[in-house]
Amino acid sequence: MSGRPFLEPGLEEPMLVVAESPPERLSAGRWVRRHLFNSWYNAVVTVLLAGAIGYLGYRFFGFLFVTGRWEPVTENLTLFMVGRFPRDELWRLVAQVLIWSGALGLAWGAAVSGARFRAAQAGVPYHEDPVLAKVRRYWGLLGLLVLLLALTQTLDPLVLAVSAIGVAMGFQVVGSRTQGQHADLLWAVVGVLGVVGYQIVSGFHGSGWLWMAAPVAYGASRLLALVDWSNPRRARRIRAAIIIGIFVASYALYAVLDLEGVGWDHWEGLRLNLIAAALTIVLAFPLGLLLALARRSSFPVLRLISTGYIELIRGVPLITLLFMGQFILGFFLNTSTPLSDLTRAVAAFTLFTAAYVAEIVRGGLQSVPKGQIEAGQSLGLSPIGVTRLIVLPQALRAVIPAMVGQFIALFKDTSLLTIIGIAEVLRVRSLVHAQAEFRGFGIAETLVFVMLAFWAFSFTMSRESQRLERRLGIGER
């Protein structure tokens, strides 16, 4: 720290301006001496802990690479990944992986393009993370991918992994090189790819036309917004006609195609855990957001309904909700088209998670100073404008760690699907050991494999949360 005095006009005493010195960079040896051996008791604790960690690491890695019997995993790797999915329909999963890889790459590129555009508008430099930083961020997932490829017995998974990475990188380049003001169009394409990737497995039929028409209509709307219309009223009519036409065309196209696929009641394995968690997050977040806003609403009926829902759901165990979804939810719905077990389970997960998300968001809303709301009102913003532009961005920024923690807990809770007979990855493990050749051995090995799979995804979500916290300066300002 260094300081320099200066005298501002109107001040009798000079002010001391203190400049913060850059953080000191220590060599590895000096860091160890300063933090681990700076006193005799710290040195004793360091030596004892190093011995204990070394012994546990020796035993664990010895189990992994020497004594472990991994035949139940290596012989049933496909079963762990996709369960009993029809083997003659596996091409659908390959296509889904490639399409969703493209969607992820394009989403990444759109995010980069949009961030670069916003930084340019704000007049601040934009710095993209170097490749090494990305590797450090995703090393858990990369490690899991390497482990899976090492356990495979054919080259097909390696070809698929390389192809998926190549597709993702190609779409990422396309997205990042698109002008930032057109990022909305890229997000519409991401939505279309997401729907196509889902329906290439589930089939192009039923109400799928609605899911396809929504992102297409959004993209068309954003594209029409770029046109400089001389007559606004005519522009609105044309836009409405085109959007209606997209929905009608999508309905007609699906009626003609009517291609059956593999219903998601047949989706199993680790893939099912990932899709169930992702779908629940997408559904529970907006529902929880609305519940949080309703609980803080000045309208008593909304506040009463929201509070009653949140307190009721939070007081019921998740397992109870899962059973209620299986046995009671059908009483409230049309019995001629019964919901599948998985749909009921996702509904239970969504209702449960939304209540906790609502409480997390409510905590963030309460942390926003009242002066911020008054400042927005003094600018003439409506209550919705104050909430959307001032309150929610600050509230959501403050609750990122708790929100990600809730989503990690949700991902791990998908293992509870096994208690209602759905073959997620933990139940697949039971199916493996039900085979005569794998009965009675490799039980610890399959448990460790499932543990590593859950850990890799949970750890990556945690790392992303930490990156967001650093970017947004949570806890620092």
Residue type, 375: A
Q: How many angstroms separate the CA atoms of 430 and 96, rounded?
A: 27
39: left (phi > 0), else alpha (psi -120 to 50), else beta? beta
**170-211: pLDDT as tens digits:** 999 998 888 877 888 889 999 999 999 999 998 888 888 898
Q: What is the pTM of this model?
A: 0.84
Element (H, E) at 81: helix 77-82
Q: What's the pLDDT score for residue 384?
A: 87
Q: How many angstroms separate the CA atoms of 11 and 33, rounded?
A: 46
232 contacts 239 by C-beta, under 8 angstroms: no
Element (H, E) at 463: helix 443-472
The residue to which tokens 């969703």 are assigned = 100
Q: What's the pLDDT score for residue 407?
A: 94
Q: What's the pLDDT score for residue 19?
A: 58
User: Cα Rg for the chain, rounded, in angstroms?
Assistant: 27
Burial class (CB in 10 A: 0-12, 13-18, 19+), 262: middle
**304-339: pLDDT as tens digits:** 999 999 999 999 999 999 999 888 877 776 666 677
List all residues 6 or more positions away from 34 whose beta carbon is below 8 Å from its beta carbon.
Answer: 26
Q: What's the pLDDT score for residue 147?
A: 87
Neighbours of 251 (CB within 10 A): 15
**406-418: pLDDT as tens digits:** 999 999 999 999 9
Q: DSSP letters along 374-397, please?
A: HHHHHTT--HHHHIIIIIHHHHHH
Question: Considering the chain, what percentage of its residues have pLDDT values greater than 90?
Answer: 44
Q: What's the pLDDT score for residue 3?
A: 53
3-state secondary structure of 3: strand
Q: What's the pLDDT score for residue 1?
A: 47
280 contacts 353 by C-beta, under 8 angstroms: yes
Structure tokens at 468: 């967001």
296 contacts 107 by C-beta, under 8 angstroms: no
Counting as low any pLDDT under 70, the low residues of the chain are 1-23, 333-337, 474-477
Q: What's the pLDDT score for residue 319?
A: 92
List all residues 6 or more positions away from 285 whose beta carbon is below 8 Å from its beta carbon.
Answer: 354, 357
